[in-house]
Amino acid sequence: MEETILSVLNQNYPNLEYIIIDGGSTDNSVEIIKKYEDRITYWVSEPDDGMTDALNKGFRKVTGEILNWINSDDYFLPGAFFAAAKGFNDGDPRLGFIYGSCQNIKSDGSLLEERKMIDFDADILRYGRNLFAQPASFFHRRVMEKIGLPDEKLNYAMDYEYWLRALDAGFKFKNINTTLAAFRYHLESKSVDSRSMIVDESEQVMLDQVLHLKRNRFSLAYLRTVVRLFRFKNMLLRGIQKKQWSFNSIARARKQGLLQ
């Protein structure tokens, strides 16, 4: 946690609003927070109803224009906040998100891989895969004012659902081609330990999106082709992949009447 806190404070960003929501930790988290509380805008340590509930507790407190969240396993790279602010300086009121690349690191902090993000593609986001590394994506306050908070019914894919909702609201996404954050892989990491549940929930979010938009009915062959193409493109973009992509979405889509 201390590495995470320092990665925020050491940005030396003016007008920084830093909010920490701790879920009632019984380790030394509170002691670490208190060590820096004179530089923290608001903090609380209390039980919550899950990660998204904790996120929204924080978002209800914010007053700033450029927003993000980061888990206590991860950290921002030097200069990330200034790079994000610069990315929003084009004056486009439809620009909702800027994002960059992300380092995947091992539990000991050594580099596992550098995740280079591709330029935004709405179809890939909507029907293929989560395009962004969450710690390396910042959004503007106008997004929250228009579409509200992340969905507290979701435990793993709340970020993916939020990006899809913002896309449908007409917001634009921009890749600033800068490495902004580091994501730590270890056995206790929620995003690693719960991989199958993350995939399942993300697939359901994608299918709910199709249903919500009332798009034309997909043929089974079309959806299979789309999923396979994006799977192949993902392998080309990120190199050899060890994880297997689930096709549970096809069964779910058929069951929900989305497929012919």
Query: How does DSSP classify residue 218?
Result: B
- Could you give the domains of the chain? 2-255 (3.90.550.10)
Per the model's pLDDT, the better-predicted residue between 209 and 90 turns out to be 90
Alpha carbons 42 and 213: distance in angstroms, whole number: 38
Confidence grade of residue 146 (pLDDT, cut at 50, 70, 90): very high
Element housing 180 (H / E): strand 172-184
For residue 32, the model assigns a pLDDT of 94
Confidence grade of residue 211 (pLDDT, cut at 50, 70, 90): low
Alpha carbons 122 and 216: distance in angstroms, whole number: 17
**pLDDT score of 82 more than 60:** yes
Q: What is the pLDDT of residues 85-127, one digit of tens each?
A: 999 998 899 999 999 999 998 888 888 888 888 899 888 887 7
Alpha carbons 204 and 57: distance in angstroms, whole number: 25
Confidence grade of residue 209 (pLDDT, cut at 50, 70, 90): low
Across 3-7, 88-92, 103-107, 187-191, the highest mean pLDDT is recorded for 3-7
Confidence grade of residue 158 (pLDDT, cut at 50, 70, 90): confident
Average pLDDT over residues 147-167: 89
**Would you give the end-to-end CA distance of the chain in angstroms?**
49
- For the chain, how many residues are written? 260
**pLDDT score of 206 more than 90:** no
Confidence grade of residue 53 (pLDDT, cut at 50, 70, 90): very high
CB 23 within 8 A of CB 47: yes
Confidence grade of residue 26 (pLDDT, cut at 50, 70, 90): confident
